[in-house]
Amino acid sequence: MANRKFDFIIIGSGIAGLYTALLAKEAGSVLIVTKGSLDECNTKYAQGGIAAPIGHGDSAELHYQDTMAAGAGLCDPEAVRILTEEAGDRIADLIDLGVPFDTQFGTVALTREAAHTVPRILHAGGDATGERIEVTLSRAVHESRNITIMEHCLATEIMVQDNVAKGIVAFDSQTGSLIEFISPSIILATGGAGRLFKLTTNPEIATGDGIALAYKAGAEIVDMEFIQFHPTAVRFPGIPPFLISEAVRGEGGLLRDVEGHRFMPDYTPDAELAPRDIVARGTVAQMKKTGSDRVFIDVTHLVRKTITTRFPTIYRFCQDHGLDITKGLIPVAPAAHYTMGGVRTNAYGETNIAGLFACGEVACTGVHGANRLASNSLMEVLVFSKRIIERSKGNMKSPGSTPKDDIYSKLKKHNTTGIDIPLRLSRLQSLLWDDAGVVRSKEKLDEASLTLASWYETLGTPTDRPYYELCNMVLVGRLLIEAALIREESRGAHFRTDFPEPSHEWEKHIVFRNKD
């Protein structure tokens, strides 16, 4: 490329990267760097929809209360207020861009999902919301003259001088060469780290690259112990987990065990509509009780037309694998789904490094706390991406700093003598699933901590994309495990058998920063 200087560099091409690029192009030149193709992202797998308090009887205050309750005491009230109060305007932006939300009787159709007190979930194409948004934004980006796209280009370093981001180094997978790009505004939009786990609803690209990049550059990483495990991913032999949307339970789907018993009322009065962490743990407990590796979602009592029109993607997927869900039960089990923690930002998407921003799943804005409320993720992207660009243009005042009662830590140094377990991706994923999954304990976390530390010490210099990703996953895995060891309580998505109850003393955040 002749020009390697841009006003904005955006790393990632999901809804966070694309939407931010469309906003940024009005303020200057934009480069999107993405390690795969432009449409390779988590966004298009988002089935349920996007939450906004725009329906009759709903309000920003109700949405705020639901979000705070789901977050189990760790949400940032300011961030949640921003999300719920600006949500309506961001929906209008998507409609202006051409996102075809489903309608009913001439108005946008709304459905309910778990832990929402009222229907407030907009959807498109039934259960293809993420895909419809991604396609709409991708088309707009391709039509823009002020956005340059670098595909198959993996960011490997954020260049920082005197705590100011100056640019990035990227690995071009097609040529095998490293390229430098310069910009005063670097925006991380790389998504989460679900591929750390053996069972996940995330695509292969979700390897935590942005978190690793930011940590190595000196940015603060927070809340890494909070990984959301979706309670209902398809469990077919030989088939990777496939998400069965929260909205299926919102429309009346029931969870049954292998004996046909509807079990969630045994665990919580909210039954199938409890927050995801509660449903996931209830599911795991029932699987253990019945000696099975799965439970089932039952929608056979719903009207056939409702199932086929509201959930066409799920219906077709199951049909392709020999199951008619209008007549038979869907086998499901929990799978890693969403990274609540990540690169710490303020209400303007700023990190502790000047010129470095983060948005979407890679960021930790404080909206989700210890357990994300269903369908808040896409809205978080829209709201805080907008604020990043407005802040970079000088349209928003400098935020004040609020003292936080947090625990600052750094990765431990272990004596790993005698540990000789060869590093392989499958071993890493099994380790995280077995030792840091839905249910955790100090014994298992300690074992994982030692193994990951030994792997970290043996990492060599990457020469291809898979090894860059593996190195990032080892680092992010260490951050997750160490945070889970430090938090000696159970809260939201983090559950420890040796500390099974929440503690008021732990209403604080665990923050890692690479002092080196």
Beta-strand relationship, 186-188 and 8-11: parallel
Q: Are 175 and 56 in contact (CB under 8 A)?
A: no
Question: Identity (one letter) of the amino acid at 350?
Answer: E
Nearest CA to 507 out of 489, 484, 481 is that of: 489
Task: Give the C-alpha distances (Å, rounded to integers) separating 414 from 452, 488, 499.
Answer: 10, 20, 24
Residues 363-374: b if buried by 16+ CB within 10 A, e if exposed: bbbbbbbbbbbb
Distance CA 29, CA 7 (A): 5
Question: Identity (one letter) of the amino acid at 189?
Answer: A
Structure tokens at 404: 């936080």
Nearest CA to 113 out of 375, 437, 289 is that of: 375
HSE (CB half, 13 Å, CA atoms) of 356? 32
Backbone angles phi, psi at 167, to 5 degrees: 170, -165
Q: Are 457 and 412 in contact (CB under 8 A)?
A: no
- Per annotation, catalytic residue among 132, 195, 249, 276: 276
Distance CA 205, CA 34 (A): 10
Question: Identity (one letter) of the amino acid at 138?
Answer: S
The order of strands in the sheet holding 30-33 is 147-150, 30-33, 8-11, 186-188, 356-358
> In whole angstroms, how large is the CA radius of gyration of the chain?
22
Question: Catalytic annotation on 276?
Answer: yes
Structure tokens at 147: 């956005």
DSSP string spanning 44-106?
Answer: GG--S-EE---STT--HHHHHHHHHHHTTT---HHHHHHHHHHHHHHHHHHHHHT----EETT
* Residues identified as active-site: 276
